[in-house]
């Protein structure tokens, strides 16, 4: 596996792949790789030569958030990627963000859901993703549905700027108990992680109530919030919207999505579930 830290060298590597008519599949990550990332990479490999990036992006962390503490384990990540036979790892230095004067925002989303709680988060995400797209020029880019709002925003950005990249969503990979895999799960001890499993269980129970006929968003969200609090979670939000995140729902319909963010033992967790009639 080739490890590239230099922006110009990465551009040239991509250009050479394109010259030999290869398609480029791209998986951006912040490292501390787990099975969720691995699923993205395995999906990407089916579409072309896979480039993975690892960069803990300071632009997407707010003041008082965990940028400094964010788990980093380059040695192990490198081993995982080599074992997966990934041809190139882009591991940029901080010069990829230093001196940036232009930032991307989507005003419609900056005040919704995550945006309410992390005001400059998506500005940082869209800006780094655009930079990475500019360097790598991928044909396909893979984003996890765990970060559903991020996926929707990146997809919209690619459409708005007529980028030649297809954004491909990948299902959330979960622990056996349902907890979505996340680099931040490493903050938990064994007991904490076990207890955090209740998060997805509560979301699943709400989806079950919807399937059984309950369509009042107030009741479904109320159920989620009450159950999460009962299990020791602090709830930032629990909301039902349509799948493109345009409208908050009062009456949930088949195909809507329930999104929630919580804090548990000092760790912030994000998850969602589609409301589907079975
Ligand atoms: P991160 O390194 O946390 O920034 O995540 C990099 C990519 O992996 C993003 O597109 C995430 O949505 C995706 N991802 C993170 N966790 C999971 C998971 N449990 N299942 C699927 N994709 C995930």
Domain count, the chain: 2
Distance, CA of 182 to CA of 99 (rounded, Å): 30
Range of the domain at 82: 2-170
> Looking at the domain assignment, is residue 233 inside a domain?
yes
Of residues 240, 260, 239, 252, the one with CA closest to residue 211 = 252
Stretch 80-98: mean pLDDT: 98
Are residue 44 and residue 101 in the same domain, yes or no? Answer: yes
Residue 248 and residue 157 in one domain: no
- Sign of the C-alpha dihedral computed for residues 94, 95, 101 and 104 taken in this order: negative
Same structural domain for residues 163 and 245? no
Going by pLDDT thresholds of 50, 70 and 90, the confidence category of residue 251 is very high
| CA 51 – ligand 1 centroid, Å | 15
How confident is the model at residue 155, as a pLDDT? 98
| Residues 127 and 240 reside in one and the same domain | no
Answer with the one of 116, 146, 170 that is the final residue of a domain. Answer: 170
Residues 117, 187 within the same domain:
no
| Ligand 1 centroid, distance to 182 Cα (angstroms) | 7
Task: Give the per-residue pLDDT at 85.
Answer: 98
- Please report the pLDDT score of residue 111 as a whole number: 79
Task: Judge whether 176 lies within some domain.
Answer: no
Confidence band for 147, pLDDT divided at 50, 70 and 90: very high
Task: Please give the pLDDT value at position 109.
Answer: 85
Q: Are strands 88-90 and 2-4 parallel, antiparallel or unpaired?
A: parallel
57 lines ligand 1 (CB under 6 A): no
**Which amino acid residue places its CA nearest to atom 14 of ligand 1?**
144
Statement to judge: residues 64 and 6 lie in one domain: yes
* 37 part of the active site: yes
Q: Which atom of ligand 1 is nearest to the CA of 181?
A: 19
Residues 136 and 194 reside in one and the same domain: no
Whether pLDDT at 222 is above 90: yes
Can you tell me which atom of ligand 1 is nearest the CA of 150? 12
Same domain, 218 and 93: no
Give the pair of three-digit tokens for residue 147. 């970060």
Classify residue 210: in a domain, yes or no.
Answer: yes
Are residues 25 and 144 located together in one domain of the fold? yes
CA distance 52 to 90: 6
Regarding whether 188 and 71 lie in a shared domain, the answer is no
Mean pLDDT of the chain: 97
Residue whose pair of structure tokens reads 């159920």 in the numeric block: 223
The packing angle between helices 198-211 and 217-230, to 10°, is 150
The confidence score (pLDDT) of residue 195 equals 97
69 and 110 housed in the same domain:
yes
Instruction: Return the pLDDT at 103.
Output: 97
Reported as a single tens digit per residue, the pLDDT across 93-128 is: 999 999 999 999 999 887 799 999 999 999 999 999
| Residue where a domain stops, chosen among 136, 170, 204 | 170
Strand 234-241, strand 257-264: pairing: antiparallel
- Is residue 267 over pLDDT 90? yes
Residues 6+ apart with CB under 8 A from 117: 236, 237, 261
> What is the C-alpha to C-alpha distance for residues 64 and 210, in angstroms, rounded to an integer?
37
The string of pLDDT tens digits covering residues 24-47 is: 999 999 999 999 999 999 999 999
**pLDDT for position 107:** 92
> Does 144 share its domain with 65?
yes
Alpha-carbon separation of residue 125 from 22, 67, 121, 153 (angstroms):
27, 14, 6, 9
With beta carbons less than 8 A apart as the criterion, state whether 258 and 251 touch: no
């Amino acid at each position: 596996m080739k490890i590239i830290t230099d922006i110009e060298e990465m551009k040239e590597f991509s250009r050479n792949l394109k010259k030999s008519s290869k398609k480029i599949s791209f998986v951006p990550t912040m490292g501390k790789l787990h099975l969720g990332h691995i699923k993205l990479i395995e999906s990407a490999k089916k579409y072309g030569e896979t480039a993975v990036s690892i960069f803990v992006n300071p632009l997407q962390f707010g003041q008082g958030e965990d940028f400094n503490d964010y788990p980093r384990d380059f040695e192990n990540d490198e081993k995982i990627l080599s074992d997966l036979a990934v041809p190139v790892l882009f591991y940029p230095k901080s010069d990829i963000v230093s001196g940036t004067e232009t930032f991307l925002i989507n005003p419609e989303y900056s005040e919704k859901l995550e945006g309410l709680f992390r005001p400059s988060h998506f500005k940082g995400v869209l800006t780094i993703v655009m930079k990475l797209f500019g360097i790598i020029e991928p044909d396909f880019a893979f984003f996890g549905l765990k970060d559903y709002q991020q996926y929707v925003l990146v997809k919209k950005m690619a459409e708005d700027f007529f980028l030649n990249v297809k954004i491909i969503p990948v299902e959330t990979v979960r622990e056996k108990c349902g907890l979505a895999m996340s680099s931040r799960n490493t903050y938990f001890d064994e007991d904490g992680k076990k207890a955090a499993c209740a998060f997805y269980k509560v979301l699943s129970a709400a989806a079950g109530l919807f399937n059984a006929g309950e369509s009042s968003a107030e009741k479904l969200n109320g159920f989620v919030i009450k159950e999460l609090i009962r299990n020791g979670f602090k709830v930032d939000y629990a909301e039902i919207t349509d799948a493109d995140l345009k409208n908050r729902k009062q009456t949930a319909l088949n195909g809507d999505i329930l999104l929630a963010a919580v804090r548990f033992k000092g760790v912030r967790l994000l998850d969602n579930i589609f409301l589907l009639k079975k």
